[in-house]
């Protein structure tokens, strides 16, 4: 009996990077593995069509890097997938590059990789919070330009400040654990209070405005969807404490950048730390020119260790589904 076919839609030149042995030994034991070779969406559609080399695939390993060749997994692409496709297993905690509604309409189940990204992304968030408070970005630019401390003003200590987390999922909780080491008080806002409570000191705030009025550092750790897109704007910045800090390791499009810049220019915000932007890899030049902001090029999971954990979790999702046990990490929208 032939094995079901699975397509690795990852980096078109590299494929899976850190887990090739696991791809061969674990996934290869239950599936015939095909590699993405299509160099354009048009070629991909041809390869997916009847008689094409991907016409009978059952599952897809999907990485954002595949977008450079075939584009996003939007409604048009998903509707073009052959009827044989039952699973799209995405490498990433965020999955806004996939049209979940279109996949659900096609009875295609989608998974992602929560948990595998928590530690690395939280470490980036902690760095951004500390850098923003201490203004380490300005200091590094100074010393690299031979200016030592010239023009630098005293920054702020992170100790004993209030950390407000919007979206206390796995990343938010990992961030809290890191910053508690700085004697921070942790408050958080979710749609619902976490039960059982996290195993560290924290306080649930049912109203987001109440959190914003209390927090010295506000960290955004929520997914990008139609409800959250542009949801953090002038109204929210006005509600924040004077001289507070914003950290965003979620998705750039959650924040209204013009409102952020206005809050920084007015002094409402002391500083900000950003790892994500709406139109990556393009970054608003005004953000780059503003020396109150520490910016990183979406470094959340840019570690060998985390990327391997993510790759293996995608493989495990495929293996579980093909073995009749269902997806391990199906996206919440489909669980409902």
Which residues are catalytic, by number? 251, 280, 298
The angle at the Cα of 238, spanning 237 to 239, to the nearest 5 degrees, equals 90
Phi-psi region of 306 (alpha: psi -120 to 50; beta: other; left: phi over 0): alpha
> Rounded distance, CA 258 to CA 256, Å?
6
Phi-psi region of 102 (alpha: psi -120 to 50; beta: other; left: phi over 0): alpha
Which run of H or of E encompasses 7? strand 5-9
> Rounded distance, CA 185 to CA 176, Å?
9
> Rounded distance, CA 220 to CA 104, Å?
28
Cβ atoms of 41 and 71 closer than 8 Å = yes
Helix axes 136-144, 118-134, angle to 10 degrees: 70
DSSP-derived 3-state class of residue 177: helix
DSSP-assigned letter for residue 222? -
């Amino acid at each position: 009996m032939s094995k079901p076919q699975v397509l690795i839609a990852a980096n078109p030149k590299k494929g899976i990077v850190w887990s090739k042995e696991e791809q061969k030994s674990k996934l290869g034991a239950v599936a015939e593995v095909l590699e993405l070779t299509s160099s354009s969406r048009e070629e991909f559609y041809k390869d997916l069509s009847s008689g094409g080399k991907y016409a009978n695939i059952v599952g897809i390993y999907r990485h954002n890097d595949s977008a450079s060749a075939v584009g996003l997994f939007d409604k048009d692409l998903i509707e073009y997938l052959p009827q044989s496709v039952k699973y799209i297993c995405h490498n990433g905690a965020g999955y806004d590059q996939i049209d979940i509604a279109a996949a659900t309409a096609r009875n295609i189940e989608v998974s992602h990789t929560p948990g595998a990204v928590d530690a690395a992304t939280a470490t980036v968030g902690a760095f951004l919070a500390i850098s923003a408070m201490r203004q380490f970005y300005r200091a590094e630019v100074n010393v690299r330009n031979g200016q030592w401390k010239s023009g630098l003003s005293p920054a702020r200590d992170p100790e004993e400040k209030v950390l407000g987390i919007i979206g206390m999922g796995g990343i938010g909780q990992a961030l809290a654990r890191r910053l508690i080491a700085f004697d921070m008080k942790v408050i958080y806002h979710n749609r619902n209070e976490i039960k059982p409570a996290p195993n560290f000191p924290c306080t649930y705030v049912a109203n987001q405005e109440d959190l914003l009025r209390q927090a010295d550092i506000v960290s955004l750790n929520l997914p990008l969807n139609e409800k959250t897109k542009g949801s953090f704007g002038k109204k929210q910045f006005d509600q924040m404490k004077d001289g507070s800090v914003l950290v965003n390791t979620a998705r750039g499009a959650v924040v209204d950048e013009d409102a952020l810049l206005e809050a920084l220019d007015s002094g409402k915000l002391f500083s900000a730390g950003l790892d994500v932007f709406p139109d990556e890899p393009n970054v608003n030049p005004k953000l780059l020119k503003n020396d109150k902001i520490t910016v990183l090029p979406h470094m959340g999971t840019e570690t060998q260790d985390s990327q391997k954990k993510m790759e293996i979790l995608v493989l495990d999702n495929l293996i579980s589904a093909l073995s009749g046990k269902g997806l391990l990490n199906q996206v919440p929208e489909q669980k409902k």
